[in-house]
Structure 1
């Protein structure tokens, strides 16, 4: 369905209006009604617009609604959050707050991180900012708390000038760096497509294009992620080389990922992960 579909907008407006009763919106029922739902006059009064405006919208010949008018119509029609978002999409208007990366962390996700004491784990935003992590993740990647908040970003740590200092080099399961580089840039491109109005993400990309030849070259190639990289290799000082399974668990609705690293029980990598718990956590 194309964005800004006036025909579907008209049909949705009529459907939402007809499912309501005056009692639903605090209005008297009045005399017998010939049609179900609210009258157009009632919707117009509740939304603070003219009756003619509502009529033209429902007949797919109305003006282009503004964000404020759409918000008022959504409240008048008692739309849910999802329905309000759909209303904005049908009108071809950016949703309030859309195009911006969610940075708020759910308390339930933080509790989940607290429970993960035996596996390195971190919460990553669509912008690749590391929003939260557990001590074992810091033992694996390095002291994240020492990094300024604005630079606590996986793209910056991978491509930024001096960004990798003090942090483990991460490559894929076969020891190749280029596959992860390409995957990271592909994810950054996809994120910018989802969040075109996120000034922080745009600024990060522009800075990396200007300062990192590797990032700039990959960005120009417009890579598309084709497969998930489910194994990564780390060179950790004091521990050595360990290859871990990588699983990214989506946080529904927030476009965040809970990234968890683990090893096959009884494997050498599991032994090294045990060593990391002992050696690494003493220095975190």
Structure 2
């Protein structure tokens, strides 16, 4: 599958490493080399590449107060000379200074974005409409998580890159499932490469039912964008075993994995996404040796969760 004809902004450092750590293989998207890294960089290369190709100078995107996506978008817009309006939704029930003013919130402003804090999705939508009325066709609207049919191409690309690095056929590829752009891209890319493996998405944002609806829609849209068949259902599975109390709320299992991996491998997970996904990985040593974990980054949010980690 050739993506070379797609408009693309040069942001990340590729390929990201595939390392054997803690008894499994870890695809280090946290080391994507730009704006504190993470899985959003690949999406933004395609999303902002398309915006630049259209001649757009203004961007608006959305996320929670500690959104990795918003932080990465702010860094990318700074690199490309675009102005970002970052709409931060109070989606997590916290108002302490660590959460509202450090980590990704601090970095988003440091990268030069205009940050708007709103109480809910309805207010976010209303503000986006105001910005659209102001800027018209000059405004590029990037969906939460960068998850649409263009953003997902970034992880079709990561799947093809992973295929080129593999010397075995994985038992499964494990990734946090939120807005599902990363998971959809992986499923389609691995199917295109004819890798006979399952992508396990660990639900961290919505219930399994809501996540499945999001994933199915995005698989269909991305397959249509590429002119390929929608992959069969046996290529993916959704796992809500680590969802816990809800989005942005750490779990004991996830926090334990953060401490264990930090003190044994010097690698940080984040409490919102990667730690929950990591806690869902099979403990069986044989299966673990054939598992690939997509480390989606999120390190800056550790500072916002200082009290939970202490």
- Same fold per TM (> 0.5)? no
Query: Which structure has greater strand proportion?
Result: 2
- Normalization by structure 1: what TM-score? 0.26
Greater relative contact order structure (CA < 8 Å, 6+ sep): 2
Query: Over alpha carbons, which structure has the higher Rg?
Result: 1
